[in-house]
C-alpha cells in the first residue's frame, strides 16, 4: 500500500485549492490513505503568516472528519498535524494538542532559532561564510530535541537544510549525529518520512537523501511517505521515485498510523 501523510490545507494561507480536490487526487492515484498534516497553530503567535490561527483549529478538525466520512468507501482519510519544534515554546502548543485524537504528529524544524533557513528570502544569508556548518549543526540539535520529546510519530523532511543546495563541510561528522537521532527515534517508535517536495525545490532531491536513508535502515527506523502538498495536483507527486529510493535503501515496508499506533505494510 501507499500513503500520503503530508498534505496541507488552505488554512495555512499558502496552499491552494479545497481539501476535496486533494482527496480526489489521492483516489485517482490509488493511494490507500491520505493524511492531512497542516501547520500547527501557535497560541502566542509564531510564524503566523504561514499557519492557521488557534480558533481555526475546530474548522480544521471538522474538515478532516467530514472528508473521512464522505470518502470512506474510496480512501482512508487521516487526522494529522505538522508541528514545529521551537525550544522553550512547546508547552503552550501541547496544552491544546494533547487532548486531540490525532492519527499521527509530524515533528518538523523550519527555523534554527531566529533563522527561517528554508524560506526563499533566506538564500542570501546562506551564502555567508560559516553559515552552512552552523545551520546544519543547530538544525540537528533541534531535531534531536524533537525526537527526544517523545511527542511525535514522524520526522518531517529530515535533511531540509539542503533545500537550496547548501551542505556542511563534512558529511562524515554529521552522520554520527544522524545515527544518534535515529536511534532515539527508533526507541520512540517513530518513522521518518520520504518527502517528495524536495524534488520540486532547487536541490531536486527527496528528503532525506539515499545516504541518510541507508543510515535510517541501519537503525531499523520505519518509513512513511509524504508529498508536502500545498496544491491539489501535488498529492502523491513523484511517489514512484520515493518507492525506488526506499527499495534502494533496503526497505520493503512502509508504516501507517492509526490513532498514533504504527503498523508496517508492504510497499506498493
CB of 156 to Zn ion, least distance (A): 5
- For Zn ion, give the closer residue by CB, 116 or 253: 116
> Within 10 A of 264 (CB to CB), how many other CB atoms are there?
13
Residue 38 beta carbon to Zn ion: minimum distance, rounded to whole angstroms: 8
> Is the CB of 108 or the CB of 196 nearer to Zn ion?
108
Residue 83 vs 246, nearer CB to Zn ion: 83
Residue from 25, 37, 76, 108 in contact with Zn ion (CB under 5 A): 108
Closest contact distance (angstroms) between CB of 129 and Zn ion is: 27
Smallest gap from residue 7 Cβ to Zn ion (A): 10
Residue 166 CB, shortest distance to Zn ion, in Å, is 17
Site for Zn ion in 119-138 (CB under 5 A): none
* Number of residues binding to Zn ion, judged by CB under 5 A: 1
Comparing CB distances to Zn ion, the nearer of 108 and 112 is: 108
- Give CA–CA dist 37/226, Å, rounded: 10
Nearer to Zn ion, 46 or 253 (CB): 46
Candidate segments 56-64, 104-112, 120-128, 178-186, binder of Zn ion by CB under 5 A: 104-112
Minimal CB distance residue for Zn ion = 108
Residues contributing to the site for Zn ion (CB under 5 A): 108
Amino acid at each position: 500500500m501507499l500513503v500520503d501523510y503530508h498534505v496541507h490545507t488552505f488554512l495555512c494561507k499558502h496552499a491552494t485549492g479545497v481539501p476535496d480536490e486533494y482527496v480526489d487526487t489521492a483516489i485517482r492515484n490509488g493511494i490507500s490513505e491520505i493524511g492531512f498534516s497542516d501547520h500547527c497553530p501557535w497560541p502566542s503567535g509564531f510564524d503566523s503568516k504561514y499557519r492557521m490561527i488557534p480558533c481555526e483549529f475546530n474548522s480544521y478538525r471538522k474538515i478532516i472528519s467530514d472528508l473521512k466520512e464522505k470518502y470512506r468507501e474510496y480512501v482512508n482519510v487521516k487526522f494529522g498535524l505538522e508541528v514545529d519544534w521551537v525550544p522553550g515554546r512547546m508547552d503552550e502548543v501541547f496544552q491544546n494538542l494533547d487532548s486531540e485524537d490525532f492519527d499521527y504528529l509530524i515533528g518538523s524544524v523550519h527555523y534554527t532559532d531566529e533563522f527561517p533557513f528554508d524560506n526563499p528570502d533566506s538564500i542570501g544569508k546562506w551564502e555567508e561564510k560559516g553559515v552552512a556548518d552552523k545551520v546544519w549543526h543547530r538544525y540537528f540539535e533541534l531535531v534531536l530535541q524533537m525526537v527526544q520529546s517523545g511527542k511525535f510519530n514522524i520526522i518531517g523532511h529530515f535533511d531540509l537544510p539542503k533545500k537550496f543546495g547548501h551542505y556542511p563541510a563534512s558529511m562524515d561528522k554529521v552522520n554520527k549525529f544522524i545515527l544518534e537521532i535515529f536511534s532515539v527515534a527508533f526507541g520512540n517508535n517513530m518513522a521518518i518520512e520520504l518527502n517528495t517536495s524536495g524534488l520540486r525545490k532547487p536541490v531536486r532531491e527527496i528528503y532525506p537523501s539515499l545516504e541518510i536513508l541507508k543510515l535510517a535502515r541501519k537503525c531499523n527506523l520505519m518509513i512513511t511517505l509524504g508529498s508536502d502538498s500545498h496544491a491539489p495536483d501535488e498529492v502523491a507527486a513523484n511517489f514512484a521515485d520515493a518507492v525506488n529510493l526506499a527499495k534502494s535503501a533496503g526497505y520493503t515496508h512502509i508504516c501507517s498510523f492509526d490513532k498514533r499506533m504504527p503498523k508496517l505494510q508492504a510497499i506498493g
